[in-house]
Amino acid sequence: MEINEPTSNGHASDNNNIKAINDDEYLSDFLRNHRDFDVDKVQSVREIREIAENKLSQNASLYYNCGSGLHEQTLLDNELAFKQYRFRPRVLRDVAVRDMTTSVLASKVDLPFGISPTALHKYAHDDAEPAVASAARHLNALLVCSTFSSKSLEEIAESAPKSIKWFQTYIFEPRDITLNLVKRAEKAGFKAIVITVDHPLTPKRPYKYKYTVLNNFLPELFFGNFGMGDDTEPFNASVTWDDIDWLRGVTALPIVVKGVLTPDDAVIAVQHGVHGIWVSNHGGRQLDGAIASVDALPDIVAAVEGHCEVYVDGGVRHGYDVLKALALGANMVFIGRPPIWGLAAGGERGVRRVLEILRDELSEGMALTGCAELSDISKEMVVKKTYR
């Protein structure tokens, strides 16, 4: 039997009459009032997503938004996991001025969150990755470029030459493909190499993605860094930690491993001399049923014992999510889909708006939890809500 909450007049309420703000109602109201889709006026990532969905083709929307597996469980869990954490705010600590600048692998950036590598931005907007790079430069935010970008890494670097950029790739077979990309990234001024390690193969993603999207890719949407026009699976399932040692031997750039979800692997990564561990489940696109990345974070931070930096991504949709991840020990937090939604909604301006919204929400959250600087954010500030 369900027990209804008493209402203010003391009577038990009828569940059907409870008037809460319903997401769908709110969003259709929002769209009715924003026919001109002015991204500058948008107030939340959720609204930007709504605008994007109205502009993206059905195939593009499926491609960007899908997870993996039949249930896309991890995709859902990433966002839900943030909602399980609650703040324990401190008060009276002079938060009139909030400083969000930080340093990551010895580079100074103005925000403690950056842009995750995501493939094929031309599918979202013709201006593609250079628009994202220039938005990131505008806010002095860290950008990580995907190996599967629509534009070449050189074009992206040229569009924001002075900003801090990292290059993400994989250990391909033969390794010369990786080596060549790493050398090009070094030459183009990228500051670190991110090796994605959760991708021995591409798992089955929802059938609509597999059978509609892939078969309808237009030729001009193929990759900017190399031609890969056939159906060959480019990923290499035989990669091991030895390949990380090999990579360390061929580049002087710092190395980050992206896609670690257990303390055991984090300890091994430290033993292999990596400079950063990126806690991620690939935005729920690889192992469906994998733990939400923010839930994996605290144990990994503890296991690493400060030997290298630790980052996290997956499900970050609000500045308060960034604050929670920082409190749980991340040195840097990343966002994957939100910049794509910004790009689709309004090109460079849309991506900038996403970064500004998250920045302002983070600043607000810092004020309300008593943090003037990032170093004031501590693990005592959050607790996981448990249900008894």
Ligand X SMILES: Cc1cc2nc3c(=O)[nH]c(=O)nc-3n(C[C@H](O)[C@H](O)[C@H](O)COP(=O)(O)O)c2cc1C
State the nearest-atom distance from the C-beta of 358 to ligand X, in Å.
11
Asked if 116 touches ligand X (CB under 6 A), the answer is yes
Nearer to ligand X, 159 or 225 (CB): 225
Asked if 82 touches ligand X (CB under 6 A), the answer is no
Nearer to ligand X, 59 or 168 (CB): 168
**Beta carbons of 100 and 111 less than 8 angstroms apart:** yes
State the nearest-atom distance from the C-beta of 293 to ligand X, in Å.
8
Asked if 168 touches ligand X (CB under 6 A), the answer is yes
State the nearest-atom distance from the C-beta of 64 to ligand X, in Å.
4
**Beta carbons of 50 and 32 less than 8 angstroms apart:** no
Asked if 151 touches ligand X (CB under 6 A), the answer is no
172 to 211: interface string for ligand X, x by CB under 6 A: ------------------------x---------------
Q: List Cβ neighbours of 86 (8 Å cut-off, separation of 6 or more).
A: 382, 383, 384, 385
CA distance 312 to 307: 16
**How many C-beta atoms surround the C-beta of residue 288 within 10 A?**
20
State the nearest-atom distance from the C-beta of 146 to ligand X, in Å.
4
Ranges assigned E (strand) in 14-87: 85-87
State the nearest-atom distance from the C-beta of 267 to ligand X, in Å.
22
Ranges assigned E (strand) in 142-227: 143-145, 165-169, 193-196
Nearer to ligand X, 100 or 115 (CB): 115
Backbone dihedral angles phi then psi of residue 287, each to the nearest 5 degrees: -80, 110
CA distance 272 to 324: 29
Asked if 254 touches ligand X (CB under 6 A), the answer is no
**How many C-beta atoms surround the C-beta of residue 183 within 10 A?**
12
- Give, to the nearest 10 degrees, the angle between helix 45-55 and helix 337-369: 170
The binder of ligand X chosen from 50, 243, 313, 361 (CB under 6 A): 313
User: Which one of the listed residues 34, 282, 307, 318 is annotated catalytic?
Assistant: 282
Instruction: Give the CA count within 13 Å in the CB-facing half-sphere of 65.
Output: 14
The binder of ligand X chosen from 130, 336, 342, 346 (CB under 6 A): 336
The binder of ligand X chosen from 59, 150, 163, 280 (CB under 6 A): 280
Q: Which amino acid is at 116?
A: S
Asked if 309 touches ligand X (CB under 6 A), the answer is no
CA distance 18 to 32: 24
DSSP for 276-329? Answer: EEEE--GGGTSSTTPPPHHHHHHHHHHHHTTSSEEEEESS--SHHHHHHHHHTT
Please report, as residue ranges, which positions from 127 to 146 form the binding site for ligand X (by CB under 6 A): 146
Asked if 363 touches ligand X (CB under 6 A), the answer is no
Nearer to ligand X, 65 or 163 (CB): 65
CA distance 120 to 106: 29
State the nearest-atom distance from the C-beta of 281 to ligand X, in Å.
7
The binder of ligand X chosen from 42, 45, 109, 119 (CB under 6 A): 119
State the nearest-atom distance from the C-beta of 258 to ligand X, in Å.
5
Asked if 319 touches ligand X (CB under 6 A), the answer is no
Annotate 233-257 with b (16+ C-beta within 10 A) or e (fewer). Answer: ebebeebeeebbeebbeebebbbbb
Active site residue 125: no
Asked if 369 touches ligand X (CB under 6 A), the answer is no
The binder of ligand X chosen from 69, 224, 276, 283 (CB under 6 A): 283
Total of chain residues touching ligand X, rule CB under 6 A = 22
Asked if 258 touches ligand X (CB under 6 A), the answer is yes
Asked if 61 touches ligand X (CB under 6 A), the answer is no
CA distance 160 to 224: 17
The binder of ligand X chosen from 49, 137, 205, 337 (CB under 6 A): 337
Q: Residue 221: exposed, middle, or buried by beta-carbon count in 10 A (0-12, 13-18, 19+)?
A: middle
Q: What are the residues binding ligand X (CB under 6 A)?
A: 64, 78, 116-119, 146, 148, 168, 196, 258, 280, 282-283, 285, 313-316, 335-337
Catalytic residues: 282
